[in-house]
Chains A and B, each alone.
Chain A
Amino acid sequence: MNIVETVDVKKTYQQGKVEVTALGGVSLSIQKGSFVALAGPSGSGKTTMLNMIGGLDTPDSGSIAVNGNTLETMSQTELASLRLHNIGFIFQAYNLVPVLSALENVEFVMLLQGISSAERRDRAMSILDDVGLEGTYNRRPAELSGGQQQRVAVARAIVSNPSIVLADEPTANLDSKTGKGLLEMMRKMNEEKKVTFIFSTHDRMVMDYARRLILIRDGLVADDEIREA
């Protein structure tokens, strides 16, 4: 089954007096357990596509279905619920709530889901251990390095067992060694837990790790390459 299905998705933005076409009609099918990179230069529409899949933005036309849910028919509250229970997000920066510790940041999504305090704590600590952050539970984001913060973001994104993790330029603010470590970890999560990862990136290293590379240019799919595992 396809976990993400987009059909002829179009989106334009108004920038002053100019109308900019972000997506000119994108149709994609992404299977469960994929490790996909949406690649392209700045302004190609890859982040817009990612936001559409995550229900953060709505298309002008076309349809998007995530895990069987048709997004354009859903209200804002339903979309919020979909994101809460089905989608994990990793952003380029400003991923974490500054006043919460690493552990509390990871617990936060489970808190919103209504999971009990004891179970939240156990799962959060376990996932932080998995991403190599044992012993940093009580540190606040300002006390963590960029790489460590992104690892916490990854931990938060997957702790609630989402169907998909959407990562927008996750390695953009990291050095290559740290970025590589992060990608290794996410690849491992993908293989072990079968979580679908969809990246928006123009980082060559991320593209190399992806098992499927969708090239987006000028709002359209320019190439769709499936690589070996």
Chain B
Amino acid sequence: MFFQLGWRNIWRNPRRTAVIMMAIVIGVWSMIFLGALMRGMTDQMVRNGISTLTGHIQLHHKGYRNDPVIENSMTDPRAVESVIKKELPSGVRWSSRVRVNAVVSNARHTAGITFVGIKPSQEAEISFIGTAVTEGRYLKDDDTYGIVVGKALVEKFGTKLGRKMLVMSQGTDKEIASRAFRIIGIFRAEMEATEKQFVFVTMQAAQRMLKMKDGISEISLVLPDPKNVDTIAESLRAVLPAVDYEVQTWRELLPFVTTYLNVYDGFVFIWFIVVFIAMGFGIVNTTLMAVFERIREFGLLKALGMKPWWIVKEVLTESFFLLVIGMIIGNTLSFLSVFALSGVGIDLSALAAGSEYFGISRVIYPAIHPKDVIMANLVVFILGLIVSVYPAVKAARFTPIEALAQT
């Protein structure tokens, strides 16, 4: 009968019950929905980072990460590639690149960029560039003078498809190396910064320009299951001599994203606690009001022989119903909100410059992670019952005489 009594008691004042339930619904909804937005941002940060040439693992010549100059290239990539083919499990895709800092210019403008020489068919399988070309065409393996540049760079330079751009860098002979390329494709990326930073040519074209022969700057790997990153990285470190090569995972290559992810879980928990504190005052206040309105009734129950602990249980049962119903509705609203936005996302174009600094795309898609949902519900339920203990104990502490004397 405790459940029956508790259920009926919460509906004695339907308006008050509706108000507190709304507070719980809004609290739960904000925890899960805003948590999903934040999680969506971090997921996109990781996805953007990995697909924007980082991959899950990269291999370089020793010292390349600290000083990405042409002297720190891998001069004999075949040896490395044969090791990779032996060590890697099936399903891992990889591609070699030439990657150097360079300057691109036309008649109007000059800009610093990252000059990337790729094997088009291999690269298409592991990074964004394979599907990013929106005007013109993607590179073919035998393109000698073709270059694919970003939309933002094209607009900045006031140029277009078919026009020429001059790329200059330092070659292996330590002399200025330069070449004119014709724009054959224009790509769009999640972030404008990516469109301005990278230009793509075939690897042979880059190697020829830089006089690298068969040398490459890096090998990037994408794994079918990202959870195996560390295991595979360790296996590569074991077979590649440390004096010549460095193997890095995406966490090492994207330190800002890694740091953000590490603090994110704690930040989400703190956010949940802050929301709950705001909601918790409402729960305590409402339950106290309900208790003080029924002092005489509690006096009657005690006079009849109800033990103090049973009165605590009865009040907690009322809070239990409020919390459970509020949580069910809040969760439902959260899932519906996320579902509604999952197709269109939230456009942050107005903040694009600021968001790009953090590696966040212009459009955010919320992503619900089960552990966030579980944590939000546990915070609300457990802390909700805990804060209800005060009014419950207050109800149990009335002596029958004091309680029955109330008018």
Please give the residue numbers on chain A whose beta carbons come within 8 Å of chain B beta carbons, in ascending order: 51, 54, 56-57, 76-77, 80-85, 87, 89, 91, 94-95, 97-100, 104, 107-109, 111-112, 156
A94 CA to B400 CA in the complex, in Å?
13
A99 CA to B4 CA in the complex, in Å?
9
- The residue of chain B having its C-beta at the shortest distance from the C-beta of A96 within the complex is B300
A57 CA to B399 CA in the complex, in Å?
9
| A85-B305 in contact given A57-B401, A94-B297, A112-B310 (Cβ < 8 Å) | yes
| A83-B303 in contact given A91-B404, A94-B297 (Cβ < 8 Å) | yes
Instruction: Jot down 27 A-B pairs with beta carbons below 8 A, ordered by A.
Output: A51-B400, A54-B303, A56-B399, A56-B404, A80-B302, A81-B305, A83-B304, A83-B305, A84-B304, A85-B305, A91-B303, A94-B404, A97-B5, A97-B297, A97-B301, A98-B12, A98-B297, A99-B5, A99-B8, A99-B9, A100-B5, A104-B4, A108-B304, A109-B304, A109-B305, A111-B1, A112-B305
Pairwise interchain contact B1-A56, C-beta atoms closer than 8 A:
no
- The residue of chain B having its C-beta at the shortest distance from the C-beta of A54 within the complex is B303
| A76-B12 in contact given A91-B404, A94-B297 (Cβ < 8 Å) | no
B1-23 vs A, CB cutoff 8 Å, 1 = contact: the mask equals 10011001100100000000000
Least CB distance, A103 to chain B, in whole angstroms? 12
Least CB distance, B47 to chain A, in whole angstroms? 54
Query: Is the CB of B362 closer than 8 A to any CB of chain A?
Result: no
- Find residues 289-338 in chain B having any chain A CB closer than 8 Å to their own CB: 296-297, 300-308, 310
Least CB distance, A76 to chain B, in whole angstroms? 7
A99 CA to B11 CA in the complex, in Å?
9
Top 8 nearest A-B pairs by Cβ distance? A84-B305, A99-B8, A83-B305, A56-B400, A94-B296, A80-B305, A89-B303, A57-B401
Q: Which of A89, A97, A156 has the most CB of B within 10 A?
A: A97
8 Å CB contact of B401 from A51, A77, A81, A85: A51
Pairwise interchain contact B401-A56, C-beta atoms closer than 8 A:
yes
A111 CA to B12 CA in the complex, in Å?
22
Least CB distance, B397 to chain A, in whole angstroms? 10
Pairwise interchain contact A97-B300, C-beta atoms closer than 8 A:
yes
- The residue of chain A having its C-beta at the shortest distance from the C-beta of B7 within the complex is A99
A95 CA to B400 CA in the complex, in Å?
13
A99 CA to B310 CA in the complex, in Å?
17
List B contacts of A98 (CB < 8 A).
12, 297
B357-389 vs A, CB cutoff 8 Å, 1 = contact: the mask equals 000000000000000000000000000000000
List B contacts of A91 (CB < 8 A).
300, 303, 404
List A contacts of B305 (CB < 8 A).
80-85, 87, 109, 112
A85 CA to B305 CA in the complex, in Å?
8
A94 CA to B297 CA in the complex, in Å?
7
Pairwise interchain contact A77-B307, C-beta atoms closer than 8 A:
yes
A98 CA to B9 CA in the complex, in Å?
9
Pairwise interchain contact B308-A76, C-beta atoms closer than 8 A:
yes
Q: Which of B5, B300, B304, B307 has the most CB of A within 10 A?
A: B304
- The residue of chain B having its C-beta at the shortest distance from the C-beta of A140 within the complex is B8
A27 CA to B12 CA in the complex, in Å?
45
Pairwise interchain contact B1-A104, C-beta atoms closer than 8 A:
yes
Pairwise interchain contact A112-B304, C-beta atoms closer than 8 A:
yes
List B contacts of A99 (CB < 8 A).
5, 8-9, 12
A94 CA to B301 CA in the complex, in Å?
11
Least CB distance, B1 to chain A, in whole angstroms? 5
A143 CA to B253 CA in the complex, in Å?
74
Pairwise interchain contact B306-A112, C-beta atoms closer than 8 A:
yes
Least CB distance, B403 to chain A, in whole angstroms? 10
List A contacts of B301 (CB < 8 A).
97
A95 CA to B302 CA in the complex, in Å?
12
A51 CA to B4 CA in the complex, in Å?
30
List B contacts of A57 (CB < 8 A).
401
Least CB distance, A37 to chain B, in whole angstroms? 20
A76 CA to B302 CA in the complex, in Å?
10
